[in-house]
Chains A and B, each alone.
Chain A
Amino acid sequence: MDVVVLVKQVPDTESLIQIAEDSVSIKTGDLKWIINPYDEFAVEEALQIRETQGGTVTILSMGPEKATEAIRTALAMGADSGVLINDPMTAGGDALTTAKVLAAALKEIPYDLIIAGQRAVDGDNYQVGSAVAEYLGIPQISLVIKEEIFNGKIRCHRVFEGGTVVVETPFPALFTTQRGLNEPRYASLPGIMKAKKKPLDIKTLADIGIDPAIVGKAGSKTKIKTLNFPSERQAVRMIDGESGAEKAANLVKILHGEIKAI
């Protein structure tokens, strides 16, 4: 089974986020970059599938050269090879143009299964995985917390409010990850050593045969107009009380009397 994992390098959520002067992007000077946490679940699941089914795990990403760090992290976890699409013309694109580029790159990478994070924690668009499947014309299942492979099919458990739903599809297919799917492994120290020698191809748009005019800023139909910080949260209030029962009683009093929630 050949699995391709879509990975994005994103700012660490612990980083100091500041809106840039243009008010449509963030300052990158003091940021630390990490592999998107939902993509980490995807890498882990791909490695587990390879352990039972055999085959290969390829990491595919788009971004500046720095994004090779995220690919190396996935290689250190155990993936076999990586491909980065690095082209200045992809900059400033929306989710759909990203999907176009990744889908074009996937035409040259053999796959039975594609796994993507449900979303990247920076843009929070929830679009790339689905759009890639659409461009490739393959079935997709989103927000998966468990998968089983048998008889040439993949059966996925998805969470929705109040329960789970089980969905099945033949290969090739794409699914996106939800928290709870697995606990990503750590990159081991020998793994990091080995990752340095694993193949990592860096390609341009010309290499994958895609017209620069339909991607990046030029090809985007949606544009960010402005970024705003969320309004500040109110301070947390601790409920007093000597015992659990007393605290519960005090909580009820506040919910009923002050906030009138119950």
Chain B
Amino acid sequence: MDQTREQLPFDILFVGAGPANLASAIHLMELAREKKMKIEVGMIEKGNTIGSHAISGAILDPIALKELIPDYLERGCPIEQTECRDNLYFLTRKGGFSIPFTPKYLHNEACLVISLSKFTRWLGGLAEEMGVNIFPGFAGTEVLYNADASCVIGVRTGDKGIDKHGKKKSNYEPGIDLIAKVSVFGEGSKGSLIRDLGKKMDIFSNKMPQVFETAIKEVIEIPESSPFLSAETTVLHTFGYPLRLNKKGGGFLYRLKDNRVCCGLVVALDYQDPFLEPYEAFLRFKRHPLIAEIIQGGKVLQQGAKTLSAGGYYTMPALVANGTVFVGDSASMLNTQRLKGIHTAMKSGMIAAEAIIFALEKNDFSTKTLKKYELGVEKSWIKDERYKARNFTQALSQKGFLKFMHIGAQYFTGGRGLKDPLTIRKDNSTLKTLTPKKANKTKTAVPQHFDGTLYVDKLTGVYLSGTKHEEDQPCHLIVHDTRICETKCFESYRNPCALFCPGKVYEIKEGPQGKRQLVINPANCLHCKTCEVKDPFENITWTCPEGGGGPNYSMV
């Protein structure tokens, strides 16, 4: 370990200030208070403030929230909509129909529509009141291990004030080593620390590969006269157009407080067509008559994008290792079948808190003691609802009629279905190589009209996400071999990174002699991580930029 770094000791360190870690920290402080234990708890967050990087649909099943904060209403929990009246639509190109029978896992009557950004900010305030030291604007860039690398002992924060060429600027501020008895990783989808930790501590072996979906979402202000504001339906989910039946994903639109709605499209990253562009699909979704009619006359207030870990039960890694536990999306806690993960993320954090208190009491932070968390998850309602959905994502990845056979069979067999476990492919292995004929066909995209208000292009979207990075810093997107981009990737796939990235971070420019060159605009990065998941050559590694950089979400 680099001895020149300053060290700051905590009992417990949380990495990431999302719903899983915040619920965990709040529950931990509560348990410590009950047991009259005095503990120092730290939490780092790469976003500029708590909630800056938090984005989700979001329909919240308040089951975990009620357990954590029974009087959440009195304590000012920000709720956008308490009445969830669902309608599920199948969309065709120009029309569609409402599905008369909604499967029971898609019933949201008792749920709440929230903005995850507002919700986490609120939870963050409560955690701070209880004595958690939250440090927004500090990114964890390295996991610290003991001498024989058998135990996690903390996290190093990133240096600040390094210029483009890696040289120290006048305001250089070295990162420091945060040392803890237990480090809780709640990094969210496709965390950059758990990537290395996973390899070192072997938490992913014997598991199915984690798979992801990318969601693009907007909050739109619609005219006060809009009939949707008094319509019976408040929650719409769609499948079908603009994705084909063989493409996994779907759209959503929820009514929010005041005269706002949010709408978004989720695209599973196991798609095969290199020419698919999630952002463009999102725009087509917005232009579908069903959606266009609701949002007409509106104005986009905020936009954002994020991947979500959609693999489910069988892709859950080992939940503990010596000196560390994994919660929320870091541990693939989402329930794809219910299109929800905040409740399971929170609950996983809360169960982890109970195991941590147990470990503190025993003063033993080994896998053996922390295993109480893993066992707790197995005994909780997280297991109950996720186990039923254990083959669901895999079934959705099937093509044609088979998909419905699997889903139907699972519906009546408690999730077992026709084959258990049903296997799944890693997202970066699913793209189909373009035939020379197809590759040379210029993409026949429908020309998009952007009015800059309701329909915005990618760069306006980046602006509307509030994304800001220190420009003079090393590029945080590591492309290992740009020759692959210029040759193999171009020939086989026509550089899908330029299409799947919702922030226009990657561009392929053709130089004077037809020489191709990859141009990276790291300052546009929305921290969604689609690039690391989908790049067919695994040529991109996402690392944390200087702490405080990234989107500035406040209402998505």
Contact with B along A229-253 (1 / 0, CB 8 A): 0000000000000110000000000
Q: Which of A32, A183, A190 contacts B170 (CB 8 A)?
A: A183
Complex Cα–Cα for A16 and B117 (A): 15
B512 touching A192, Cβ below 8 Å: no
Given known A14-B466, A16-B302, A242-B512, contact A188–B173 (CB-CB < 8 A): yes
B511 to chain A, nearest CB (A): 9
Q: Which of B157, B171, B512, B552 contacts A243 (CB 8 A)?
A: B512
Let me know if B372 is at the binding interface, CB within 8 A.
no
When distances are taken between beta carbons in the complex, the residues of chain B under 8 Å from A188 are 173, 176
Given known A183-B171, A242-B512, contact A30–B554 (CB-CB < 8 A): yes
When C-beta atoms are compared, the residue in chain A nearest to B555 turns out to be: A30
Let me know if A12 is at the binding interface, CB within 8 A.
yes
B391 to chain A, nearest CB (A): 41
Complex Cα–Cα for A193 and B138 (A): 13
Complex Cα–Cα for A30 and B170 (A): 34
When distances are taken between beta carbons in the complex, the residues of chain A under 8 Å from B6 are 190
Interface centre among A12, A188, A193, by most B CB within 10 Å? A188
B173 touching A185, Cβ below 8 Å: yes
A15 touching B176, Cβ below 8 Å: no
B8 touching A189, Cβ below 8 Å: yes
Let me know if A170 is at the binding interface, CB within 8 A.
no
- B residues 131-146 in Cβ contact with A at 8 Å: 133, 135, 137-138
Let me know if A135 is at the binding interface, CB within 8 A.
no
B509 to chain A, nearest CB (A): 12
Complex Cα–Cα for A193 and B554 (A): 26
Interface residue tally of chain B, by bracket? Answer: 20 to 34
A211 to chain B, nearest CB (A): 36
Let me know if B468 is at the binding interface, CB within 8 A.
yes
Q: Which of A12, A30, A31, A186 contacts B171 (CB 8 A)?
A: A186
B49 to chain A, nearest CB (A): 6
B135 touching A184, Cβ below 8 Å: no
Contact with B along A182-219 (1 / 0, CB 8 A): 11111111101100000000000000000000000000
A189 to chain B, nearest CB (A): 6
Contact with B along A90-109 (1 / 0, CB 8 A): 00000000000000000000
Given known A188-B176, A190-B176, A192-B135, contact A14–B171 (CB-CB < 8 A): no
A193 to chain B, nearest CB (A): 7
Let me know if B286 is at the binding interface, CB within 8 A.
no
A15 touching B466, Cβ below 8 Å: yes
Complex Cα–Cα for A148 and B160 (A): 27
Complex Cα–Cα for A215 and B161 (A): 41
B552 touching A185, Cβ below 8 Å: no
When distances are taken between beta carbons in the complex, the residues of chain B under 8 Å from A30 are 301, 554-555
B133 touching A193, Cβ below 8 Å: yes
- B residues 516-556 in Cβ contact with A at 8 Å: 552, 554-555
Complex Cα–Cα for A192 and B8 (A): 12
- B residues 437-471 in Cβ contact with A at 8 Å: 466, 468
Given known A14-B466, A32-B554, A184-B171, contact A189–B160 (CB-CB < 8 A): no
A183 touching B173, Cβ below 8 Å: no
When C-beta atoms are compared, the residue in chain A nearest to B169 turns out to be: A183
Contact with B along A7-40 (1 / 0, CB 8 A): 0000010111000000000000011100000000
When distances are taken between beta carbons in the complex, the residues of chain A under 8 Å from B169 are 183
Q: Which of B157, B178, B552 contacts A12 (CB 8 A)?
A: B552
Given known A14-B468, A32-B49, A184-B171, contact A189–B176 (CB-CB < 8 A): yes
A15 touching B157, Cβ below 8 Å: no
Interface residue tally of chain A, by bracket? Answer: 20 to 34
When distances are taken between beta carbons in the complex, the residues of chain B under 8 Å from A186 are 160-161, 171, 173
Complex Cα–Cα for A32 and B301 (A): 14
Complex Cα–Cα for A126 and B512 (A): 49
A189 touching B157, Cβ below 8 Å: yes
Q: Which of A16, A189, A190, A242 contacts B301 (CB 8 A)?
A: A16
Q: Which of B138, B170, B178, B554 contacts A15 (CB 8 A)?
A: B554
Complex Cα–Cα for A186 and B555 (A): 27
B2 to chain A, nearest CB (A): 16
When distances are taken between beta carbons in the complex, the residues of chain B under 8 Å from A12 are 466, 552
When C-beta atoms are compared, the residue in chain B nearest to A30 turns out to be: B554
B185 to chain A, nearest CB (A): 18
When distances are taken between beta carbons in the complex, the residues of chain A under 8 Å from B133 are 192-193
A189 touching B138, Cβ below 8 Å: yes
When C-beta atoms are compared, the residue in chain B nearest to A69 turns out to be: B49
- B residues 157-214 in Cβ contact with A at 8 Å: 157, 160-161, 169-171, 173, 176, 178
A193 touching B8, Cβ below 8 Å: yes
When distances are taken between beta carbons in the complex, the residues of chain B under 8 Å from A243 are 512
When distances are taken between beta carbons in the complex, the residues of chain A under 8 Å from B468 are 14
When C-beta atoms are compared, the residue in chain A nearest to B118 turns out to be: A30
B549 to chain A, nearest CB (A): 12
Complex Cα–Cα for A36 and B48 (A): 15
Complex Cα–Cα for A137 and B157 (A): 47
Interface centre among A12, A14, A183, A192, by most B CB within 10 Å? A14
B176 touching A14, Cβ below 8 Å: no
Interface centre among A32, A182, A187, by most B CB within 10 Å? A32
Complex Cα–Cα for A98 and B137 (A): 31
When distances are taken between beta carbons in the complex, the residues of chain B under 8 Å from A182 are 170
When C-beta atoms are compared, the residue in chain A nearest to B157 turns out to be: A189
A14 touching B138, Cβ below 8 Å: no
Complex Cα–Cα for A16 and B138 (A): 24
Complex Cα–Cα for A188 and B547 (A): 11
Complex Cα–Cα for A193 and B468 (A): 26
Contact with A along B18-62 (1 / 0, CB 8 A): 000000000000000000000000000000110010000000000
A69 to chain B, nearest CB (A): 10
Given known contacts A183-B171, A186-B161, A189-B176, what 6 new A-B pairs fall within 8 Å (CB)? A16-B302, A16-B554, A32-B554, A183-B169, A188-B176, A189-B135
A interface residue numbers (CB < 8 A to B): 12, 14-16, 30-32, 182-190, 192-193, 242-243
**Complex A-B: 17 CB contacts under 8 Å:** A15-B554, A16-B302, A16-B466, A32-B52, A183-B170, A183-B171, A186-B161, A186-B171, A187-B137, A188-B173, A188-B176, A189-B135, A189-B176, A189-B178, A190-B6, A190-B176, A192-B135
B interface residue numbers (CB < 8 A to A): 6, 8, 48-49, 52, 133, 135, 137-138, 157, 160-161, 169-171, 173, 176, 178, 301-302, 466, 468, 512, 552, 554-555
10 nearest CB pairs, A to B: A186-B173, A14-B466, A183-B171, A186-B160, A185-B171, A183-B170, A30-B554, A14-B552, A188-B173, A30-B555
